Chain A
Amino acid sequence: MECVFGMVGKGFALVVADTSAVNSILVHKSNEDKIMVLDQHKLMGASGEAGDRAQFTEYIQKNVSLYQFRNGIPLTTSAAANFMRNELATALRKNPYQVNIVLAGYEKETGPSLYFIDYIATLHKVDKAAFGYGSYFALSMMDRHYHPDMTVDEAIKLADQCIEEIRSRLVVAPQNFIIKIVDQDGAREHSWRRTTKE
């Protein structure tokens, strides 16, 4: 079962997602990257219906780039989050996207930020967020161990604790996870947590 979670630390934000692409009982692949890099300082972790996820995230990424081309400056994280929410809300009563999103971004003026966006287009700025069955374990672990202004090492340690909990307690736990980080140096892949090679 898919899970995405994220948290904000001191000067950075982290997004962790599983990397399984599943169809009923079959695992198509276990290295599917579900955290899209929107632009230099934004990460979008998405979970949900596979086709909707791929289409919607690409659509958002292209529109975020288009804004930068047209206006010469990148969108703020808050603006990108609201744009995503409005796209989801407009589609909601016509042809809903079944995609849940954790958006992480970094700005020089306001620092790191994290947004929770539901598939029904509920938007909320948060310090920690999680989606999927894994959220029951990840949110509880984060409630216990998270504190504001964590260092990267502390946050990675907490992410590992969450992954450990998901692996041991979720009946169909995903095999591999990917961790991406965004800070003043940009948005990039941090590491993988694998149990299978490919």
Chain B
Amino acid sequence: MSIFEYNGSALVAMVGKNCFAIASDRRLGVHLQTVATDFQRIFKIHDKLFLGLSGLGSDAQTLHQRLVFRHKLYQLREERDMKPETFASLVSAVLYEKRFGPYFCQPVIAGLGDDDKPFICTMDSIGAKELAKDFVVAGTASESLYGACESMFKPDMDHEELFETVSQALISSIDRDCLSGWGGHVYVVTPTEVTERILKGRMD
């Protein structure tokens, strides 16, 4: 089994009309055994920027600590929050530093940029950025997620419809993947508020 499949994970981010949603599964496993059903994969960097980290749990935690550190330093120096595009470049640089001994993570970055325009991107474990206008996926269930998102996505959804779409895409994909599951964790972010919801799917 690949090191990326050691813990199991599923992540998806989707763009709506002046809003975005980022969602993950909740399983923490060690190969075939489930260790916990409330593992956090999505981290808030600031009110309008969220980072999801799929892949090896340990490297996700290390990367999260490093990136929060870098962002806090940036906030002290610049006296403002980082733009999502800037943060994506930072993550890409941090990952490429370890080009010949990489972090085994695939990040998903989602944020509201200038004029609250939604921004999403993903990258591979060595920092190759992939911007998208509609949705990005990562994790062991990524192939299912690509299919589910492609068929369910519509442009310019409002935040309620976006929540429904992301939830359905996530649950249907992780239900078919043995390494991810135990429900979902969905954040829907608009310029004025952040809604966090827990989903119940196949609890296995």
Contacts and interface: CB of A to CB of B under 8 A. Distances in A.
A129 interface: yes
Nearest to B56: A120
A93 B101 contact: yes
Nearest to A100: B30
A135 B32 CA distance: 12
Interface string B27-43: 01010010110010000
Interface string A123-135: 1101001000001
B61 A85 contact: yes
B33 A124 contact: no
A129 B35 contact: yes
Q: How large is the interface on A (under 10, 10 to 19, 20 to 34, 35 or more residues)?
A: 10 to 19
B35 A126 contact: yes
Nearest to A93: B101
Contact of B39 (A92, A118, A124): A124
Nearest to A127: B36
Contacts of B58: 85, 89, 92, 118, 120-123
A135 B39 contact: no
B86 interface: no
Nearest to B32: A136
A136 B57 CA distance: 21
B101 A121 contact: no
Contacts of B7: 122
A116 B33 contact: no
B62 interface: yes
Interface of A: 85, 89, 92-93, 116, 118, 120-124, 126, 129, 135-136, 139
Given A118-B57, A118-B58, A129-B35, 16 more contacts: A89-B61, A116-B35, A116-B36, A118-B30, A120-B56, A120-B57, A121-B58, A121-B62, A122-B56, A122-B57, A123-B58, A123-B61, A124-B35, A124-B39, A135-B33, A139-B33
